[in-house]
Amino acid sequence: MFDREIRTDIDIAARPEQVWDVLTALDEWSQWNPVLAGIVLDGPLREGSRGRLSVELPPPVGRRSIAVRLVTVRPREELAWQGGVTGVVEGRHGFRLEATDLGTRVIHSETFSGVMAPALVALLRRQLERRYRRLNRGLRERCERS
């Protein structure tokens, strides 16, 4: 079976509450996040809210704005959204926080669906994994500085 998920993780020396606070300061993402420049929501930070995600895609695409909907908002546990073109290619992108003895493990993943998902993931897997690891390091640096 074709794997349509890209998954990375990182350990951060900060409590889940601190990591959550950084993740949910959406207007500050561009200060630490090299991949996702931010989300502008049309409503509050809650499941079902819609908005636009600014994302830096691999060349030659560059920065794009994508319509998204928050699908999971569990404070200090998980933040996830979904966006794309239904049936063609959609992504569910999120962060799950797990408390550890030394702080927080962040599981950062995106699962793709739609008829173009296999080709997209095959083409971009390595680039996206590298980008998501860079994002993870930026998140860790921001959280550990706070």
- Residues 6 or more apart whose Cβ sits within 8 Å of residue 67: 50, 51, 52, 53, 83
Main-chain phi, psi angles of 114, to 5 degrees? 105, 165
| Contact (Cβ atoms closer than 8 angstroms) between residue 112 and residue 88 | no
The residue segments making up the domain with residue 47 are 5-145
pTM (2 d.p.): 0.91
Number of domains in the chain: 1
Main-chain phi, psi angles of 123, to 5 degrees? -75, -40
**What's the confidence (pLDDT) of residue 71?**
98
Give the C-alpha separation, 60 to 146, whole Å: 35
Q: What is the CATH number of the domain that holds 73?
A: 3.30.530.20
Residues 22-61 have pLDDT tens digits of 999 999 999 999 888 889 999 999 999 999 998 877 676 7
